[in-house]
Structure 1
């Protein structure tokens, strides 16, 4: 998926050109930050290999409230499939939000240790051990810092192009099976 971040009067505008030919627009109202929050999400999720976050779910067909379809034909079951993706990966989307926030804060304010902050944040939502090491968080932070600088120096009318790897597309969430109807036994 190709993602293009562009400045807009309300913050940042993100165009997503999915592999299925659908083009999406994601609106962001993040005008307070030097670097757009959605860019921090994309960088953090990609650099950490987090496929069930915001961008992995978007690549798989989810549509969040800030996203609209601009072009292309969606699957016949796009709405239901998108709902299942968001519901099925809700916990991981929350983790992605925390991890992106940590990396974004490190780049915006340059304070603290992103590894320690991410590890501590992880423990608020997950019980399993933190799967990343310090170099993973350093890589995400330095990539966001580099792309943040590119963002600030974009020529007028240009956009920052970002590649989302196909391997980081969220897996589909199958529909729930209807429960078999329980028939009461006859008592003789």
Structure 2
């Protein structure tokens, strides 16, 4: 799934993409994750990188690709399946805990990269939300997040940065 992240005025952004079922959706973003050294990356890009690296299929992008809905997500075109809203919220509800877990993990990874996660990444995630993260995965995510932040910083207002969610 190709996701186009659009830079808006005043640091805002949104993404537009076509789900595998043909629905075209817009996700309004706006928040950022700090990575240390003044580097920050759009939160929804951080979700994409962390969820793909750690295979968190029940996170934001996995739920959306599967047909789920989240806050700030709206249909803007394409094929809207019959009973789409009811079906979509059922997918999101079924993801429940894993969707919340992805939120915690993305924040913990960003905090670890920024040097604010304390003594351990798993401890920062908390026992309930912890997922195994190797040093190699953390380094890979760090490189990808910083690279994406640098690419994002080159996007002019009104421009886009395309990234891919691999639905495997």
TM-score for the superposition, normalised by structure 1? 0.76
Q: Is the 8 A contact 1:24 1:67 kept in 2?
A: yes
User: Equivalent residues in 2 for 1:44-59 (5 A)?
Assistant: 44-59=50-65
Could you list the runs of 5+ residues in structure 1 that have no partner in the other structure? 168-188
Question: Number of residues paired by the alignment?
Answer: 162
For 1:113 and 1:63, how far apart are their aligned partners in 2? 30
Name the SS of the counterpart of 2:14 in structure 1. strand
Q: CA 1:37–1:31 in 2, change beyond 3 Å: closer, same or farther?
A: closer
* Alpha-carbon RMSD: 2.3
Q: Is the 8 A contact 2:33 2:46 kept in 1?
A: no
Could you list the runs of 5+ residues in structure 2 that have no partner in the other structure? 35-39
User: Equivalent residues in 2 for 1:80-159 (5 A)?
Assistant: 80-106=86-112, 110-112=114-116, 116-117=120-121, 119-126=122-129, 130-159=131-160
Q: CA 1:160–1:105 in 2, change beyond 3 Å: closer, same or farther?
A: farther
For 2:112 and 2:165, how far apart are their aligned partners in 1? 22
Q: Identify the residue that residue 2 of structure 2 maps to in structure 1.
A: 2
Q: Is the 8 A contact 1:115 1:133 kept in 2?
A: no
Higher strand share: 2
For 2:119 and 2:106, how far apart are their aligned partners in 1? 12
Name the SS of the counterpart of 2:120 in structure 1. helix
Offset, 1:19:
2.0
